[in-house]
Amino acid sequence: MSNAQPRVILHLDMDAFYASVEQRDQPALRGKPVIVGAPPTQRGVVAAASYEARKFGVRSAMPSVTAGRLCPAGVFVRPRMEVYRSESQAIMALVRELAGERIQQVSVDEAYVEVTNPYSTGDADEVLAQALPLARSLKQIIREQRGLSASIGIAPNKLLAKLASDLEKPDGLTLIRESEKVAFLRPLPVRALHGVGMVTEQNLAQAGLKTVGDLQDYPGDLRALVGSWGPELKRFAFGDDQRPLDLGDDIKSISSENTFLNDTDDRPTLRTCLREQADEIAGKLARRRLAAFTVQVKVRYGDFKTLTRQISVEEPLQEAREIYRLGCWLLAREKLVHRPLRLIGLGVSGLLEAQARQLPLSFG
């Protein structure tokens, strides 16, 4: 092990953020399966779901009609994005006040905080444990001042801190010690590792590598299975992650546009175009190991009038089919194809480093 000062990373993740804000602001909703999104009687999608609704299989980006079928008692609430953004700013201000400025906010309800103390003494496990009182104070002040619960993971790096925050949701606090990280990772599915998406998971499974332990024991060169990312994936399997916090605040997006030779409102043509754009965007997300919270469509008519519409969801998107479905929904909801289009575009923003979907042992 290196003699360098051990890093201490917290990952803060608000619990069912959108739905929890609604339950806080409307006490009658507490304890009920709240679904933030358009009602199932309309062509809409789910932006977020409370833990009570998730027990029925409801998740973000799902069509509202499907959510209504899975959870007949679900209470549908229209999203209030401005309220959620304002709440996020208040929470992050509390985090900065208590934990300092080294914060990488990755979405409205999620952030990494580096609290490494260069003057800490003891081995890595002892240094990490010293962050427990701070994490407890963060959870307490958010509950007292904002009326919301948060889950926090403490670990020596971002990879493990994210996994730790997912373990005991909601209202969880989990510490992964340096000495425990290899054993902790061993039984997890490979999809739990940062950057392992559906395609990579399938490639690894074909080689018989289904758990992180399989990756730890694999004697061959992973580059034969996942290309140049192989050495980093191997390090991740042993819980080693040197990625620094991204403290910049650049707005990032990925988009694709198509200008037609002749203006068209032909639905099959437009759907094919959107599907190809979604595939292109998903490919770029996968290569850069990113996910997105917002999908946007752009249309331009023959008179060059241009409109854009967007939707944000609580859980990050990576798959082409989800991006395509939301793009089609935006076109239909806004009735954007009421006349022939000169241009159609699809884009995603609110980007963050891709993470695994929550582990089976998680509550949400």
Instruction: Provide the annotated active-site residues.
Output: 110
What are the φ/ψ torsions at residue 67 (nearest 5 degrees)? -60, -40
Residue 361, burial from CB neighbour count under 10 angstroms (0-12, 13-18, 19+): exposed
- Separation between Cα atoms, residue 317 and residue 295, nearest integer Å: 9
170 DSSP assignment: S
Contact (CB, 8 A) for 216 and 182:
yes
What are the φ/ψ torsions at residue 299 (nearest 5 degrees)? -130, 150
- End-to-end alpha-carbon separation of the chain, Å? 34
- Assign 3-class secondary structure to 309-361: EEEEEEEEECCHHHHHHHHHHHHHHCCCCCCCEEEEEEEEEEEEECCCCCCCC
Extract the tokens encoding 208. 């018989």
Find all residues with CB under 8 Å of 59, minimum gap 6, and list them: 46, 49, 315
- Separation between Cα atoms, residue 222 and residue 119, nearest integer Å: 38
| Nearest partner of 209 among 227, 184, 195, 188, judged by Cα | 188
Pairing state between β 75-77 and 34-37: parallel
